[in-house]
Structure formats: structure tokens, C-alpha cells
């Protein structure tokens, strides 16, 4: 695999040790996502998204009835958010744009000016405070209007995404130099395998592969669009963020060693191989196993769709950087006991979980010379952790979700990270944070 540069995101901080500085120019900051923080779910012309829809129809799929209707109310409190970022000494803020806030129908028939104004204000506020915006175009909140026509399982969605991206480049590309097309496509497609993730359309082993196929085509096309039409004038970079966990064999048996590799090919490789490998396309082991399983099931076609040669070509190499979201290592064994068909069954491996760290990242940069260009911590503040509601507290700032004001309070970890972000150094009197 080739990866020109990496942007890493880690969810919490693990145990850290004294070591060198990160190199000059290393970008540090933290991230959020529109549905998790903005609220204002139906204000100023915003359209419904698939998470609004799922939680309103099925509050029981979430936790305590929590949803993103108000969340952290960042739609109204973005100036305060920027002051928090400034106090953290970040170089960069990674946030996502809500597609239906800009295009309520998902299509360009209606461009919602208040939505454009909101992101313009946020971007300008960041720049005025010396913070670079890094924008995720899609962090899981598809316009519900597009789900009514099949969502990501509909190949046409690649066209819709290109048009949406064009609106973003036209309106914000003069100031945004970091673009991430998709955040964690592997999580996006789970909404087509499980009813507990939006859009709650369970078709495991079929719909999730179809959706992934469209996402890869959409990503490749938006990358090419930027490079053909905007890059010369705007001079930014376009990449994608993939969730890539470690995959280690549970035992040293040959079966587990092979299973751990296969697991990684099905997890990260599903999206990384078509974009970052020399040959492009899906990993060979995926092709072979899903084709064979589909045949055994008596299907006339593979559940894993096929790219045309042209698609393989424009998807391959379609990233200026590799956004690597990393949270743990999976210990993998060559056993599986799940429903079929499903991606887990096609993978033929089961994972057990452990991990999290920052010093390792620094050593990868300083010792192994991995060209990592930045680190984005998840998250600026506590927010809606999808179906886990407000129960998970990943923020550097605490948010009081009971107060109408959604009062933010810095945690100890905010002071700790503010030092690291300023000095680009992990302190010697480090500790164990969560
Ligand atoms: C996702 C976030 C999520 C976080 C913690 C990130 O990688 O992008 O949406 O809240 O992980 O689970």
C-alpha cells in the first residue's frame, strides 16, 4: 500500500511516556461531526437526515431516547466552540458539514442559504482565530430524501455526492484546504446491514457491499472533480478517513495468523485496497470468498459488486492523504458463528478487543519515519455517541446536556492536551487519562 501522508485520529488518550517533539508543521487539533454536535435539526430550512428519521421513528434504537435534535447546540454556540478550540491551542478543527442543512432535498434544486451562511460563519470564525478548518463532507447524516430512493445502495448516489461536493468547493473551497470525503465508510455501510444504525435497512452481506461500492465510486469521482476543476485555484488536499484497527492473531496457530490478515483485508482493505494499493480494486481474498459463498448460496451473481476497469482506475490513487481513525487492536481467531449471509460470515474470523495510545504515534513519526502530517483527537466536547446517546464522554470539554444552555466545562484532559498542542511534546510527567 502507498500512503503519501497520514492524518491520525484517536478517540481517547492512553498511557504516554516521555519522548521527542512532533516535527515542525505537524498539525494537531480535535474533531466533531455535524449530527453529533449541531442540533437545530429542523431550523432555518435544514432537511431531515437519516439519523433524525431513525431516532424519531425508533427512539428505542438509541439510549435513553437521546438524539441529535439539540445535541451540543453548536449551530447556535459555534463561537463558543471556537474559543474552546483556541484555548486548546489547536492548529486545526475537523468538523463535518450536514448535507441536508445545505441541500434539504439532497439534490441541488434547493440550496439553503442559511446553511451556507452557518458554515461560512464557522469557517471565518476559525480563520480569524488562527485555526485551519478541516472539513468532512459526509459524517453519516444522509438527507432522508435520498434514502427514500435507496440511499447508498443506489449507484446514482455517486452523482448526487458529486453535485453536493461541487457546492462545497464553490462556496468554501477558497478557505478550506483540507477535505475528507467520507468518515469511516465501513461504519456508514453498517446502516445497510443492521437496523441499529441509520438508515436502518438491514440487508447484511448484500446491501452493505452495494453501499460500499457506491461510496468508493463517489469518493473517487469527487477526488477527480477537485483535481480537475478546483485544485489549481484552491490548492487544497482531498483524502478519506478510514477506521483501521490493529489486527493481531489471537494465538500463533497458522489458522489465526491467516485469519488476522483476512480480517484486516475485509475491514480496512475493503476501502483501502481500491484506493491505496498499486493494483486497485477489492482485495483478492474478498473477491474470492464472497464470489464463492454467493455461488454456494445458489445466487446468479456475487453479492460483492464488480468495478469496471475505468472505475478501478479513477478510484486507485484517489487520495492526497490517508485519514486513519484508530482506536484499538483486535485479536483475531479463525472461528465464526454468525448469521449468513453477512460480511462477518464471508470474513470467517472473530475479533477480541484491546488498546489505545499517543506515544506510539510519535514514535512512528520520529523513529520509523512514517510521514504522518497530523493528529486529530476525538473529540472537542462530549457529544451524541450515536445509538449510545450521551452516555459516552469522549470530549476534552464536558457538556451539561441537562442545561438548556448546554454549558461547556473544560476537563483535566483539556489542560493536558492544550500543553501538548502548544509544545508538540508529550509531557514527561504524563499520566493515564480517559
Ligand atoms: C467517529 C465518531 C465517533 C467516535 C467514537 C469516530 O471515529 O467518527 O463519529 O463518535 O469515533 O466512537
Which residues, in sequence order, are bridge partners of residue 27?
374
Which three cell numbers, joined as nine digits, stand for 384?
451524541
Spacing, Cα 253 to ligand 1 middle (Å) = 33
User: Could you tell me which residues come within 8 angstroms of residue 8 by beta carbon, excluding any fewer than 6 positions away?
Assistant: 323, 324, 325, 326, 361, 372, 374, 375, 376
Alpha helices (H) in 129-206, listed in sequence order: 144-147, 157-172, 185-188
182 and 318 in contact (C-beta within 8 Å)?
no
219 and 225 in contact (C-beta within 8 Å)?
no
200 and 58 in contact (C-beta within 8 Å)?
yes
pLDDT, mean of residues 77-106: 98
Burial call 103-135: b when 16+ CB within 10 Å, e when fewer: bbebeeeeebeebbebbeebbebbeeeebbbbb
> What are the residue boundaries of the structural domains of the chain, listed by start?
5-268+321-423
pLDDT, mean of residues 152-164: 98
Q: Is 184 in the pocket of ligand 1 (CB under 6 A)?
A: yes
Question: What ligand 1 atom has the least distance to the C-alpha of 11?
Answer: 5
d(CA 6, CA 292): 35
Q: 1.10.3720.10, 3.40.50.720, 2.40.50.140, 3.20.20.80: which CATH number matches 5-268+321-423?
A: 3.20.20.80
| Bigger pLDDT: 359 vs 102 | 102
Q: What is the pLDDT of residues 278-322, one digit of tens each?
A: 999 999 999 999 999 999 999 999 999 999 999 999 999 999 999
Confidence of residue 9 (pLDDT cuts 50, 70, 90): low
Confidence of residue 355 (pLDDT cuts 50, 70, 90): low
pLDDT at 4 over 50: no
Please report the pLDDT score of residue 171 as a whole number.
99
pLDDT at 252 over 90: yes
Question: What ligand 1 atom has the least distance to the C-alpha of 184?
Answer: 8
pLDDT at 433 over 90: no
d(CA 131, CA 87): 11
pLDDT, mean of residues 382-397: 98
User: Could you tell me which residues come within 8 angstroms of residue 16 by beta carbon, excluding any fewer than 6 positions away?
Assistant: 357, 358, 359, 426, 430, 431
321 and 5 in contact (C-beta within 8 Å)?
yes
- For residue 58, the tally of other CB atoms under 10 A from its CB is 13
Confidence of residue 14 (pLDDT cuts 50, 70, 90): very low
Tell me the CA end-to-end span of the chain in Å, nearest whole number: 32
Alpha-carbon dihedral sign for residues 387, 241, 73, 42: negative
Considering the entire predicted model, what is its pTM? Answer: 0.95
Q: Is 125 in the pocket of ligand 1 (CB under 6 A)?
A: no
Confidence of residue 353 (pLDDT cuts 50, 70, 90): confident
Spacing, Cα 391 to ligand 1 middle (Å) = 14
163 and 123 in contact (C-beta within 8 Å)?
no
Q: What is the pLDDT of residues 173-216, one digit of tens each?
A: 999 999 999 999 999 999 999 999 999 999 999 999 999 999 99
Please report the pLDDT score of residue 11 as a whole number.
45
pLDDT at 12 over 80: no
Nearest by Cα to 323 from 166, 186, 212: 186
Question: What ligand 1 atom has the least distance to the C-alpha of 325?
Answer: 7
pLDDT, mean of residues 104-113: 98
Amino acid at each position: 500500500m502507498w500512503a503519501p501522508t497520514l492524518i491520525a485520529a484517536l478517540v481517547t488518550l492512553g498511557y504516554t511516556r516521555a519522548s521527542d517533539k512532533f516535527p515542525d508543521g505537524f498539525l494537531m487539533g480535535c474533531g466533531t461531526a455535524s449530527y453529533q454536535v449541531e442540533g437545530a435539526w429542523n431550523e432555518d430550512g435544514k432537511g431531515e437526515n437519516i439519523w433524525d428519521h431513525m431516532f424519531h421513528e425508533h427512539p428505542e434504537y438509541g439510549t435513553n431516547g437521546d438524539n441529535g435534535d439539540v445535541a451540543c447546540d453548536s449551530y447556535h454556540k459555534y463561537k463558543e466552540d471556537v474559543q474552546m478550540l483556541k484555548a486548546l491551542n489547536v492548529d486545526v478543527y475537523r468538523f463535518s458539514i450536514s448535507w441536508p442543512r445545505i441541500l434539504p432535498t439532497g439534490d441541488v434544486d434547493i440550496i439553503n442559504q442559511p446553511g451556507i451562511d452557518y458554515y461560512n460563519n464557522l469557517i471565518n470564525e476559525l480563520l480569524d482565530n488562527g485555526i485551519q478548518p478541516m472539513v468532512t463532507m459526509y459524517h453519516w447524516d444522509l438527507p432522508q430524501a435520498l434514502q427514500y430512493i435507496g440511499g447508498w445502495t443506489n449507484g446514482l448516489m455517486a452523482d448526487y455526492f458529486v453535485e453536493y461536493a461541487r457546492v462545497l468547493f464553490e462556496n468554501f473551497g477558497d478557505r478550506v484546504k483540507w477535505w475528507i470525503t467520507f468518515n469511516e465508510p465501513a461504519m456508514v455501510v453498517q446502516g445497510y446491514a443492521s437496523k441499529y444504525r441509520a438508515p436502518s435497512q438491514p440487508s447484511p452481506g448484500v446491501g452493505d457491499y452495494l453501499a460500499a461500492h457506491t461510496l468508493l465510486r463517489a469518493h473517487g469521482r469527487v477526488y477527480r472533480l477537485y483535481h480537475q476543476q478546483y485544485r489549481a485555484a484552491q490548492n487544497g488536499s482531498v483524502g478519506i478517513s478510514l477506521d483501521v484497527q490493529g489486527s493481531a492473531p489471537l494465538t500463533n496457530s497458522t489458522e489465526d495468523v491467516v485469519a488476522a490478515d483476512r480480517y484486516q483485508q475485509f475491514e480496512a482493505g475493503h476501502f483501502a485496497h481500491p484506493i491505496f494499493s498499486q493494483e486497485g480494486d477489492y482485495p483478492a481474498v474478498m473477491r474470492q470468498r464472497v464470489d464463492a459463498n454467493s455461488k454456494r448460496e445458489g445466487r446468479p451473481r456475487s453479492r460483492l459488486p464488480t468495478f469496471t476497469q475505468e472505475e478501478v482506475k479513477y478510484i486507485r490513487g484517489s487520495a492526497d492523504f490517508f485519514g486513519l481513525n484508530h482506536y484499538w487492536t483486535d485479536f483475531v481467531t479463525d472461528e465464526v458463528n454468525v448469521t449468513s449471509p453477512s460480511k462477518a460470515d464471508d470474513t470467517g474470523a472473530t475479533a477480541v478487543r484491546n488498546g489505545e495510545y499517543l506515544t506510539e504515534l510519535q514514535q512512528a513519526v520520529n523513529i520509523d519515519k512514517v510521514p504522518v502530517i497530523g493528529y486529530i483527537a476525538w473529540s472537542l466536547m462530549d457529544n451524541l455517541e450515536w445509538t449510545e446517546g450521551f452516555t459516552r464522554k469522549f470530549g476534552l470539554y464536558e457538556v451539561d446536556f441537562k442545561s438548556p444552555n448546554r454549558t461547556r466545562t473544560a476537563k483535566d484532559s483539556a489542560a493536558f492536551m492544550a500543553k501538548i498542542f502548544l509544545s508538540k511534546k508529550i509531557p514527561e510527567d504524563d499520566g493515564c487519562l480517559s
